[in-house]
Amino acid sequence: MLKCKINGKEVEVPEGTSIIEAFKLSGQDIAHYCWHPGLSVAGVCRLCMVEIEGQPKLQIACNTQVQDGMVINNNSETVKDVVRWGLDFHLINHPLDCPICDQAGECGLQDQYMQFGKYTPEMAERKVKKRKVVDLGPTVVLDTERCILCSRCVRFTDEVSKTHELGIFNRGDRSEIGTFKDRPLDNKYSLNTVDICPVGALTSKDFRFRQRVWYLKTAESVCPGCSTGCNVNVYYNEEGLWRVRPRYNAEVNGHWMCDEGRDTYKFVNRKARLLEARVGHKDSWQSEAPGSAAKQAGVKLKEVLESEGPESVALVLTGQYTTEEYEAAIGLFQSELNSTLIYHWVNNPESFEDFDGLLLRGDKNPNTKGLLQALEQAGIDRPWQDLLDRLKAGSIKTLVVAGPENQSVFPDQLEKLEMFKEVENLIWLTAGPVEGLEHRAKPTWQIPLKTYIEKAGSFVNHQGLKQSFQVGTIVVSSALTLAEAVTLLAGQELELSAQDQILQQNRKKNFFTETRGAL
């Protein structure tokens, strides 16, 4: 371990660390654009200049290794002046696009400008004008004028996604980022370039112009797209979720995530959700509150159980719920309903073990391992064929299905609905509405559930690593979690959380609170 002093603060770093990494370890700020911890060193922005004692010339921090006993500083007037002019050189040809640029609020140039300035610009000549709104591919839009040629996106497509689609064309201040004529930026990780671009040159077609980032709050979570379980930050406000971005995790996903995972906010927003429970059958649907619908279904379930016996109710689970929910649901099923007919719905056994070498896996459920672990703990191991046989034999009268919240990765839902057509009572627990259920002729209960961002729990990824997350935001407050739904189905009452208990006890009991809504 080497010792060095950064701005007067002692830091110990391992061998081979560059000065800019030492800055990050010691928690101090240094202005930079082209360096990224997940990419190779380019040293082209020339902003990370530092003063090293004993060396007359300023050095760049990203390409200089720390030596033992180095004394480094970046808050002297010389360094600040160098950074100010370096920033000014970036800005002299940069267009005045802040009002229409998506990056406003999280822009590298804006942040450094507020910190260092050169608040009186001296460039009085014409700026270089380049192409704007260039369509790079199915997901990304390029604005070559805003580009500061840090080459992060080029290094990303060369080193991380290894698809070599981006390059820098022309030279000097006519340089532009671009793709070759017949090769658009079309790979499964293309939106990472939008994340790493420090300015608004690369923007996501999906997020473009939809919201300003200062209106959004962040919540940490785990992506439910596949069994890799990339750590993500979800951006939301009171209207819903707007985008999903990767969070650094050294063991699971590094700095990146795939494009498919970025669509996982779409099934969470209100317009894609089931807001009330739907009870009934074809041509006579009724809307109910989720809790009371679940209680009704529970009553019916108990009736059927009494008349037909414990082998008449079955539970089908997908790998999309948290481990805690599985343990609660399976436990309740066994103890209250005395049934061990619990099945694991696998939607794609052929491509289950797929892995594309970087992050994408074939198993599109975040918690398959968790489900298998919970089933193992409970000692249940029934193959899917068992369910099909019993369905054919007609011994199952009530089927409880915990459907997928991410319906786009379960294209076989309709197929499964066909299989379940003959069951007398179908209780389908789902986050979003299921088209195929509208035409069912037999009694059906569609009960809305909460999605991954509204729950606290943990997912176990393909490696067996358990990742916990807290509640991010509540989008549909009336929806239930799987544990709550199964509790109600089993005939038990829901426990109020400690917070809600206190609220209920201390609520004023008067005319207005008791006769709510009557006015």
Partner 1 sequence: MEIKLLTEHYDKPEYRSLEGYKKHNGYKVLAKALKMEPKAIVEEVKASGLRGRGGAGFPTGVKWGFLPNNGEPRYLLCNADEGEPGTFKDRLMMERAPHQLIEGMIISAFAIGSQKSYIYIRGEYDDSIRIVSQALKEAYAEGLLGKNILGSGFDHDMDVYVGAGAYICGEETGMISSLEGKKGQPKLKPPFPAVKGYLGKPTIVNNVETLAAVIPIVDKGAQAYRQHGTEKSAGTKLFSVSGNVQRPGTYEVALGYPLMDLINNECGGVKPGRKLKAVIPGGSSAPVLTAEECARANMDYESLAQLGSMLGSGAVIVIDDSNCMVDLLGVIMHFYHHESCGQCTPCREGTGWLNKIVHSIVSGHGRLQDIDLIVRVSEHMMGRTICALSDAAALPAISFVKKFREEFEFYVREGRSKVKGAAHVEM
Partner 2 sequence: MSIVKKPKALSKWYLPGILSGMGFTFKKLVTNLFNPKAMPTLNYPEEHYQYGPRFKGNHVLTVKKDGSLRCTACMLCATNCPADCIKIVASEHEDPTVEKYPISYEIDMLRCVFCGFCEEACPVDAIRMGPEWQTPALNGSNFIYDIQHLAYRPNLKGGIQSRLDDEERHKAGI
Q: Would you tell me which residues interact with partner 2 (CB under 8 A)?
A: 96, 98-100, 104, 125-127, 129, 132-133, 208-210, 212, 214-215
- Residue 352 contacts by C-beta under 8 Å, 6 or more apart in sequence? 346, 362, 363
Nearest-10 crossing angle of helices 482-489, 290-308: 50
Q: How far is the CB of 217 from partner 2 (least distance, A)?
A: 15
Q: Which does 172 bind (CB under 5 to 8 A by kind): partner 1, partner 2, none?
A: partner 1
Cα 398 from Cα 156, distance rounded (Å): 52
Cα 131 from Cα 150, distance rounded (Å): 18
For partner 2, the closer of residues 212 and 217 by Cβ is: 212
- b/e per residue, 490-513, with b = 16+ CB within 10 A? beeeeeeeeeeeeeeeeeeeeeee
Listed residue (427, 312, 420, 315) closest to 371, CA to CA: 315
Q: How far is the CB of 345 from partner 2 (least distance, A)?
A: 39
Interface with partner 1 (CB under 8 A), residue from 1, 96, 124, 498: 124
For partner 1, the closer of residues 109 and 316 by Cβ is: 109
Q: Which two tokens stand for residue 114?
A: 């507020």
For partner 1, the closer of residues 42 and 402 by Cβ is: 42
Cα 264 from Cα 236, distance rounded (Å): 13
- The neighbour count for residue 394, using CB atoms within 10 Å, is 11
Name the pairing type of β-strands 240-246 and 217-222: unpaired
For partner 2, the closer of residues 3 and 174 by Cβ is: 174
Q: Which does 119 bind (CB under 5 to 8 A by kind): partner 1, partner 2, none?
A: none
Q: How far is the CB of 128 from partner 1 (least distance, A)?
A: 7
For partner 2, the closer of residues 210 and 282 by Cβ is: 210
Q: Which two tokens stand for residue 339?
A: 């049934």
Position 168 contacts partner 1 (CB under 8 A): yes
For partner 2, the closer of residues 133 and 518 by Cβ is: 133
Position 152 contacts partner 1 (CB under 8 A): no
Q: Which does 104 bind (CB under 5 to 8 A by kind): partner 2, partner 1, none?
A: partner 2
Q: Which does 92 bind (CB under 5 to 8 A by kind): partner 2, partner 1, none?
A: partner 1
Read off the DSSP letter of residue 18.
Answer: B
Q: How far is the CB of 124 from partner 1 (least distance, A)?
A: 7
For partner 2, the closer of residues 132 and 382 by Cβ is: 132
Position 54 contacts partner 1 (CB under 8 A): no
For partner 1, the closer of residues 32 and 247 by Cβ is: 32
Position 509 contacts partner 1 (CB under 8 A): no
Position 46 contacts partner 1 (CB under 8 A): yes
Q: Which does 49 bind (CB under 5 to 8 A by kind): partner 2, partner 1, none?
A: partner 1
Q: Which two tokens stand for residue 295?
A: 């209680």
Cα 353 from Cα 357, distance rounded (Å): 12
Interface with partner 1 (CB under 8 A), residue from 122, 182, 238, 493: 122
Q: How far is the CB of 339 from partner 2 (least distance, A)?
A: 50
Strand order in the sheet with 444-448: 284-288, 277-281, 444-448, 425-430, 398-402, 313-317, 342-344
Q: Which does 475 bind (CB under 5 to 8 A by kind): partner 1, partner 2, none?
A: none
291 near 317, Cβ under 8 Å?
no
Listed residue (480, 494, 491, 487) closest to 304, CA to CA: 491
Cα 160 from Cα 178, distance rounded (Å): 18
Residues within window 59-118 making contact with partner 1, judged by CB under 8 A? 63, 82, 85-86, 89-90, 92-93
Reported as type and span, the H/E element at residue 6 is strand 2-6
Q: How far is the CB of 270 from partner 2 (least distance, A)?
A: 16
Position 128 contacts partner 1 (CB under 8 A): yes
Position 57 contacts partner 1 (CB under 8 A): yes
- b/e per residue, 275-306, with b = 16+ CB within 10 A? ebbbbeeeeeeeebebbebbbbbbebbbebbe
For partner 2, the closer of residues 213 and 358 by Cβ is: 213
Position 134 contacts partner 1 (CB under 8 A): no
For partner 1, the closer of residues 78 and 115 by Cβ is: 78
* Single-letter amino acid code for the residue at 295: K
Q: Which does 275 bind (CB under 5 to 8 A by kind): partner 1, partner 2, none?
A: none
Cα 461 from Cα 465, distance rounded (Å): 5
Torsion angle, alpha carbons of 264, 266, 272, 274, to 10: 40
Q: Which does 99 bind (CB under 5 to 8 A by kind): partner 2, partner 1, none?
A: partner 2
For partner 2, the closer of residues 140 and 222 by Cβ is: 140
Interface with partner 1 (CB under 8 A), residue from 172, 357, 379, 464: 172
Binding site residues, partner 1, CB under 8 A: 41, 43-47, 49, 57-58, 63, 82, 85-86, 89-90, 92-93, 122-126, 128, 148-149, 168, 170-175
